[in-house]
């Protein structure tokens, strides 16, 4: 079917070319005959010549319309060749017959016939051209048709002319047939080669775009010429946005401005504000333009996150051991100190200065006791009661408390607005509701502390690939990348009077729920805490194939 369509397409292309060529030739012949008549004053019937050429143009227009109305291209080709021979014979008659300058058009038609018709038809058209031309000369010689020739050759000379044209027509048909066969053979070979090259190019593109790692190729000027699909996903940009852009401007890293290809690790911030880490391997483009470079990218974002998680876990474990060892040892003498100070504060002989100092001791004792309490809460093994809970309900409870806290602030203090964006009525997860509320409260409390001059706390909930993503975004002063990196480590509080353990406990709770939590921030652009928890339905789906296996294992154990 594909070859048949290709053949139809080629025949139609040739026929369209023939129609256009005929129109050009007819107009050229008309102009040439008019010029000859004007210059030489020949007695040829110019009126009949104009009529013949006009008829030829009308036939050409008719043939062009037939191409768009019918797919019988072989019949149209025969009709065009036959009509061309007929019009050429009439034109030769009115331009002098044996003296006509247009008899060169017969070989042109034979050549065209060999190109658009099978080879046998080429010889048939050559024979038909001989019959038309010979019959015309014979009719002119015997006076059966009016002759416009200025010379009158003898019968022997006329027969030599006629049979000489026959030999010439057949020779042209033979040579044109051979050349056309070679042309078709070369065209078929070229078409096959083009198909092979197209397949190789498609295979090459499929390989490049199927790679899990990112690939970027650049020109000698450092502009991006190719970006595979994986790299587009990593950068969250389309090929149209990336191609033609200077690679050094895109990443803004010295590695891409080096005179020689270099390897290294870079960080990149996407449009949505996510920071990603890439290991980059670069090499000179082989077989392409001199100076071109190919960069391959390996996404290390998850690896670096896991490394950070391990580092935080190690530090949290160390702090936990320290808390467990020191908390009880410190708390007993602290209680004794607090009791003694309280007794001393009741003595009537104390001056106001002494009472002020004792109040400082009492206040700091309470603060130290609170720190120890958080230490113990952090270091103790936490017990969780997992059940199906609704995140929307937990968020509403927590945000209601936060709003009450903002309303209780003095009127002169700048107000903080709380904005909700919950596109769903319920968001079910498997978790401990009280612990999850503790996570939400810590996020909200940190946002309130960050927005001392007022602002808006934007809380949103969205579904994403079998998980619920919650964001707490404030409009505070933001944090530096170094602060963001260590935000969940103990003792990293940036607030006055903070212990730096609240977010460390949040991290523990999220880890116990097999979730993920991180922070995004830029100085002057606020801070966003992101929490992802697996949906209860997704978790149940993942656990479905486990039940039959467990039953089989239990059955095997009982039989054993």
pLDDT score at 274: 75
CATH 3.30.565.10 positions along the chain are 387-543
pLDDT score at 554: 36
pLDDT score at 328: 63
CATH 1.10.287 positions along the chain are 304-379
CATH 3.30.450.20 positions along the chain are 211-299
Q: What is the CATH number of domain 304-379?
A: 1.10.287
Burial status of residue 195 (CB atoms within 10 A of its CB: 0-12, 13-18, 19 or more): exposed
Picking from 492, 497, 496, 493, the residue whose alpha carbon sits closest to that of residue 367 is 497
432 band by pLDDT with thresholds 50, 70 and 90: very high
Which pair of tokens denotes residue 74? Answer: 């072989």
Task: Please give the mean pLDDT across all residues of the chain.
Answer: 78
pLDDT higher than threshold 90 for residue 548: no
CB within 8 Å of 291: residues ≥ 6 apart? 219, 220, 221, 284, 285
Say how far apart CA 309 and CA 405 lie, in whole Å. 33
- pTM as predicted: 0.44
Q: Where do runs of H (alpha helix) occur along 211-300?
A: 229-235, 239-242, 247-251
Note the pLDDT tens digit of each residue in 265-323: 888 888 777 778 888 888 887 765 556 888 888 888 888 888 887 877 777 677 667 66
For 256-281, b/e burial (b = at least 16 CB within 10 A) is: beeeebeeeebebeeeeeeebbbebe
pLDDT score at 557: 36
If you search the block for the tokens 């509080």, which residue do you land on?
A: 493
pLDDT score at 31: 67
Residue, of 383 and 472, whose pLDDT is higher = 472
Evaluated on CA atoms 373, 375, 379, 381, the torsion sign reads positive
Residue, of 340 and 46, whose pLDDT is higher = 340
**3-class SS at 181?**
helix
Secondary structure of 444-477 in HEC code, one letter for each residue: HHHHHHHCCCCEEEEEEEEEECCEEEEEEECCCC
CA quadruple 500, 501, 503, 504: dihedral, nearest 10: 120
Q: What are phi and psi of 309, to 5 degrees?
A: -60, -45
CATH 3.40.190.10 fits 211-299, yes or no: no
Q: What is the CATH number of domain 387-543?
A: 3.30.565.10
pLDDT score at 138: 82
Q: How confident is the model over 370-392, as a mean pLDDT? A: 76
Note the pLDDT tens digit of each residue in 200-243: 888 887 888 878 788 888 888 888 888 888 888 888 888 888 88
């Amino acid at each position: 079917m594909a070859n048949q369509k290709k053949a139809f397409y080629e025949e139609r292309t040739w026929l369209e070319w023939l129609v256009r060529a005929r129109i050009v030739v007819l107009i050229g012949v008309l102009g040439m005959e008019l010029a000859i008549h004007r210059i030489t004053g020949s007695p040829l019937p110019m009126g009949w010549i104009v009529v013949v050429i006009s008829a030829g143009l009308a036939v050409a227009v008719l043939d062009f319309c037939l191409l768009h109305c019918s797919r019988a291209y072989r019949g149209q080709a025969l009709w065009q060749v036959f009509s061309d021979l007929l019009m050429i014979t009439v034109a030769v008659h009115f331009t002098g017959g044996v003296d006509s300058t247009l008899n060169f058009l017969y070989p042109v038609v034979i050549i065209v016939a060999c190109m658009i018709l099978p080879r046998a038809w080429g010889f048939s058209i050559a024979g038909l051209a001989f019959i038309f031309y010979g019959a015309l000369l014979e009719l002119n010689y015997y006076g059966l048709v009016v002759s416009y020739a200025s010379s009158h050759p003898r019968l022997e000379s006329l027969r030599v002319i006629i049979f000489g044209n026959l030999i010439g027509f057949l020779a042209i048909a033979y040579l044109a047939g051979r050349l056309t066969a070679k042309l078709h053979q070369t065209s078929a070979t070229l078409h096959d080669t083009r198909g092979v090259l197209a397949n190789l190019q498609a295979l090459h593109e499929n390989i490049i775009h199927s790679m899990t790692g990112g690939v970027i190729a650049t020109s000698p000027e450092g502009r991006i010429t190719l970006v595979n699909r994986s790299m587009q996903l990593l950068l969250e940009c389309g090929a149209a946005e990336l191609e033609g852009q200077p690679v050094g401007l895109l990443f803004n890293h010295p590695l891409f401005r080096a005179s020689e290809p270099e390897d290294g690790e870079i960080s990149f911030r996407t449009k949505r504000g996510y920071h990603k880490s890439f290991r980059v391997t670069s090499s000179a483009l082989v077989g392409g333009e001199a100076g071109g470079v190919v960069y391959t990218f390996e996404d290390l974002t998850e690896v670096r996150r896991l490394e950070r998680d391990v580092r935080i876990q190690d530090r949290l474990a160390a702090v936990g051991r320290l808390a467990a060892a020191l908390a009880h040892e410190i708390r007993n003498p602290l209680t004794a100190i607090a009791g003694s100070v309280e007794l001393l504060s009741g003595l009537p002989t104390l001056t106001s200065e002494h009472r002020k100092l004792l109040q400082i001791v009492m206040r700091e004792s309470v603060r130290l006791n609170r720190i120890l309490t958080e230490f113990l809460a952090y270091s103790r093994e936490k017990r969780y009661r997992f059940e199906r809970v609704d995140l929307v309900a937990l968020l509403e409870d927590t945000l209601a408390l936060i709003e009450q806290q903002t309303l209780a602030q003095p009127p002169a203090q700048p107000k903080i607005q709380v904005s909700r964006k919950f596109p769903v009525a319920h968001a079910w997860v498997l978790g401990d509701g009280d612990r999850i509320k503790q996570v939400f409260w810590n996020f909200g409390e940190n946002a309130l502390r960050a927005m001392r001059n007022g602002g808006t706390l934007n809380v949103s909930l969205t579904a994403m690939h079998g998980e619920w993503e919650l964001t707490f975004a404030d409009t505070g002063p933001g944090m530096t990348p170094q602060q963001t990196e260590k935000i969940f480590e103990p003792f990293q509080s940036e607030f006055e009077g903070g212990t730096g353990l609240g977010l460390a406990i949040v991290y523990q709770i999220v880890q116990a729920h097999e979730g993920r939590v991180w922070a995004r921030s830029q100085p002057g652009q606020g801070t966003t805490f992101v929490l992802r928890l697996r949906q209860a339905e997704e978790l149940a789906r993942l656990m479905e194939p486990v039940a039959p296996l467990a039953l089989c294992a239990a059955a095997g154990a009982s039989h054993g």
